Amino acid sequence: MSELKPTFTDVKQRKVVAKFVEEVGFEYLSIETINADGESTSQILELNVYDAKRLSEACEAFLKRSIARNFAQFSGHLTPHDRVELANEEDK
């Protein structure tokens, strides 16, 4: 068996795979971590459509919050002149 390629690696350096699985005629999203051997996985979540939608909403809320916080920190260091320049860049 060949070594698995992760869908992403989380902040704790866990290699994570997201894949579609079918059970009894229903499709689910399986979230799994790649084991140390690089060839097998351990399931951490199995999501149906409702669960996946809720996870998507949680991710979207996290992204919006993170972007807003990062921008607030960034914009706090801008001079009034820098803010005008930035606004003019967005208009182009």
Q: What tens digit of pLDDT does each residue of 19-56 get? A: 999 999 999 999 999 999 999 999 999 999 999 999 99
**In angstroms, how far is the first alpha carbon of the chain from the final one?**
52
At residue 88 the predicted structure's pLDDT band, cuts being 50, 70 and 90, is confident
Kindly state whether residues 41 and 57 are assigned to the same domain.
no
Pairwise pLDDT comparison (92 vs 58), residue with the higher score? 58
* Helix extents (H) in 5-79: 49-75
- Could you tell me how many helices (H) and strands (E) the chain has, helices first? 2, 4
Question: Which domain covers residue 7, as residue numbers?
Answer: 1-47
Dig out the tokens for 26 from the structure: 């229903």
Kindly state whether residues 39 and 58 are assigned to the same domain.
no
pTM surpassing 0.85?
A: no
* Domain tally, the chain: 2
Contact in structure between 32 and 17 (CB atoms under 8 Å): yes
Work out the average pLDDT over 4-11: 94
pLDDT at 71: 77
